[in-house]
Amino acid sequence: MTAPVVPRRARVVELFLSRAYLASLPIGQKLALGFGAMIGLTLIVVALGYLASSRATREIVRTNDLYLPAALKAAEAQADVLRMLASTRGYLALGDPEFLASYRAQSAEVRVSLAELQGLSASFDADDRALLATITQEFAAWEALPPQRMFDLRADQMAREPAYRTLSTDGIKAGGTVLLAMQRLIDLQAALPPSTETIAQLRTMARFQGTFAAMLSGLRGYVTTRNRIFRSEYESNRDVSALEWQALTSRDARGRLTADQRALLDEIAAQRTLFLSYPAEMFTQLEGERWREDLYMFSQQALPIGERMTDSLQLLTDRQQSRLQRALDGGRSGLESANRQTLLTGLLALLLGSALAWVIAAQISRPVHQLTAAATRIGAGDLAARAPVGAHDEVGELATTFNGMAQQIQQNVVQIRREKRRADDLLGVVIPIGVQLSAEHDFDRLLELMLVEAKTFCGARAGSIFLATDDELRCVILRDDAHDRRVGGTSGAAVDVAPITLHPAAGVPDAHGAVVYAAVHGLTVNLPDATPSGLPGDGYDASLIVPLKSSTGEVRGILQLHDPIDPERGIIGRFDASLQQMMESFSSLAVAALDAYRREQALRQEIRQLTIVIDENKRRQEVDQIVDSDFFQSLQSRGRSLRMRRAGGSAGGSADDPPAGGA
């Protein structure tokens, strides 16, 4: 039976939608395919929506072209008028030139905004055109006002403040005359012969002068600030000054004045009376509404015009916005009808697009979920988990990279566990070895214990310890398991390793550069592939040279370890960073034990020397006691007499020697 023939177009569509075909595509092409389909469907929806909403859009555009610019420009003109008024008020209140510049800029903007509204007035109705004409007339009245007159008054305090003008001219003149004449009167009084009356009168003059000056100061403060505190100060000083004036002009006091003083006093009285006539007028001016002419002109003439312009512009703005809102409501109704049509076509496109998106997303998300599951297993502790690599796209490459990373993590965890086990081993070694080192009193065994424990912990095949002198390093113990060599320590074999010079002569090759460097600089040298010799004729794959430093940083020697054996693989490895750090810590412990041994030996030597000195002193004291005793003195006296008799017998024997037994 013949198989049914599938049309070519159907085969192409089936191949295009097959899972194998989609899996073979990169993510970029998958996304391009999905987005291309969505864009196509979106273009269809947009085209249908455009056709349905074009009529409503044309109505809205026409509305925006007619009513929106007018509403915006009316609101802008209103804001410009408000800013112009605010700048005027700010300059009059503070006098800051920045407000004056702002006023001029805002005034120009109001003029431009009104001109633009005139250009848009063709679309206005009769009421709006009449309202715009009223606003234009008000602005013309504002410009006819001459605001510059207010600004000039603001810049001239004497012109803008009548009370200040009265004080600065007539008031200061009369008050200053009083104070100057009073000073001359005081000088004349001081020139008189001193007496009780003249000194008392001089005090009265000085008190009047002080209270009058304080009264003038308080009046000046009140006029310039309108602060009621200064007025109270003026009035209190005025009353005190009046009392002092009565005392100064009394009949008795006046009778004690000279003719020149009485003439000055009359002049002072006239000027004082004139001065006291001004404050009432100044207080009336200060407490009236015209205490500042510039502010009065602004509030009575300029501000009403500005408020009428603002209200008219607000009314024009409201009317234009209301007309705009009605037009927009009509356009919104048309758009809602178009939206319903677009919604129906959009739902259909959404269904088709969702089906295609689900197929493509499954091709992308499934590998990602598998990759996430593998990551979750690794996070749970299954380091052997791997992500399947199915597709050949970017997710497949990511899975391959992830598997490599997981492999590296697994290796790192193994390494971390090895380091932890090594640290635990070090803890189990450091405490016992510290006790053994501190308890060991045999120097050779102490050195051997240090080297053997370091070799055992690192798994090193060979090692040695060099102790430093002034200019060289001397090998004191060597253990080489690879060559079965044991010298120094408790082995009984003499050390046959030549000393290493710390400061070789210039031009002489240094075969022990790494060892010398570690000793001179006090730094650990880790050589993965080297032969730091220190041991004659022996080559090693890896070496660790650790300086034995005291707590003060002085290098006491060198600890060398060679060829560590990897306990897991059984081959020669390397001294890694953690092992190096542990050996540096071990070296500190070893140096501490070594220093303790040396201090103990030095103390023992000092004790022995002290014992010898004590024994010598004791014997000397015993001899002195014997020599000073009565028995020894008696023996000494008998010896001297015996020697004298022997000497006398020898002299007489030449004539008649006694027999030998006679002695």
CATH of domain 442-504+511-597: 3.30.450.40
What pLDDT score was predicted for residue 492? 76
What pLDDT score was predicted for residue 533? 45
What pLDDT score was predicted for residue 6? 44
Say yes or no to pLDDT of 151 above 60: yes
What pLDDT score was predicted for residue 462? 87
- Provide the whole-model pTM: 0.35
Among 92-96, 545-549, 635-639, the minimum mean pLDDT is found in: 92-96
pLDDT digits (tens, 9 = 90+) for 313-328: 777 777 777 777 776 7
217 neighbors 210 (Cβ within 8 angstroms): no
CA dihedral 172, 176, 179, 181 (to 10 degrees): -140
What pLDDT score was predicted for residue 390? 63
Which own/partner contact pairs does 529-534 have at CB distance under 8 Å and 24+ positions apart?
532/560, 534/464, 534/466, 534/475, 534/497, 534/500, 534/558, 534/560
Tokens representing 130 are 């009449």
Query: CA 354, CA 645: separation in Å to the nearest integer?
Result: 151
Among 6-15, 208-217, 447-456, the minimum mean pLDDT is found in: 6-15
* Total length of the chain: 663
**CATH 3.30.450.40 intervals, the chain:** 442-504+511-597
Q: Name the helix (H) or strand (E) containing 470.
A: none
The class (CATH top level) of 65-155+295-329 is: mainly alpha
More confident position, 204 or 92 = 204
Query: CA 24, CA 484: separation in Å to the nearest integer?
Result: 65
Query: CA 233, CA 98: separation in Å to the nearest integer?
Result: 36
Q: Which range, 256-265, 325-334, 631-640, has the best average confidence (pLDDT)?
A: 256-265
pLDDT digits (tens, 9 = 90+) for 154-175: 655 665 666 666 677 777 777 7
Closest CA to 16 of 39, 28, 34, 41: 34
Say yes or no to pLDDT of 520 above 70: yes
Query: CA 4, CA 616: separation in Å to the nearest integer?
Result: 131
pLDDT digits (tens, 9 = 90+) for 76-90: 777 877 777 777 666
C-alpha to C-alpha distances, 333 to 327, 339, 340, 346, nearest whole angstrom: 10, 10, 11, 20
Q: Which range, 138-152, 360-374, 455-469, 537-551, has the best average confidence (pLDDT)?
A: 455-469
What pLDDT score was predicted for residue 656? 45
**CATH 1.20.120 intervals, the chain:** 65-155+295-329
Tokens representing 339 are 């939206």
Looking at domain 162-291, which CATH architecture does it have? Up-down Bundle (1.20)
pLDDT digits (tens, 9 = 90+) for 434-465: 556 555 567 677 777 878 888 887 788 888 88
Task: Tell me the mean pLDDT in the region 238-260.
Answer: 82
Say yes or no to pLDDT of 545 above 80: yes
10 Å CB burial of residue 418 (0-12, 13-18, 19+) is middle
What pLDDT score was predicted for residue 229? 85
Say yes or no to pLDDT of 72 above 70: yes
Among 357-361, 479-483, 583-587, the minimum mean pLDDT is found in: 357-361
Residue type, 378: I
Query: CA 151, CA 466: separation in Å to the nearest integer?
Result: 98
C-alpha to C-alpha distances, 639 to 625, 626, 633, 635, nearest whole angstrom: 19, 16, 10, 6
Tokens representing 460 are 């090193």
Residue type, 511: A
What pLDDT score was predicted for residue 40? 72
pLDDT digits (tens, 9 = 90+) for 589-619: 777 777 776 676 667 777 777 777 677 777 7
What pLDDT score was predicted for residue 146? 56
10 Å CB burial of residue 431 (0-12, 13-18, 19+) is exposed
Query: CA 67, CA 321: separation in Å to the nearest integer?
Result: 7
Say yes or no to pLDDT of 537 above 70: no
Closest CA to 555 of 476, 489, 466: 466
What pLDDT score was predicted for residue 651? 55
pLDDT digits (tens, 9 = 90+) for 472-509: 888 888 888 878 888 887 777 878 788 888 776 555 44
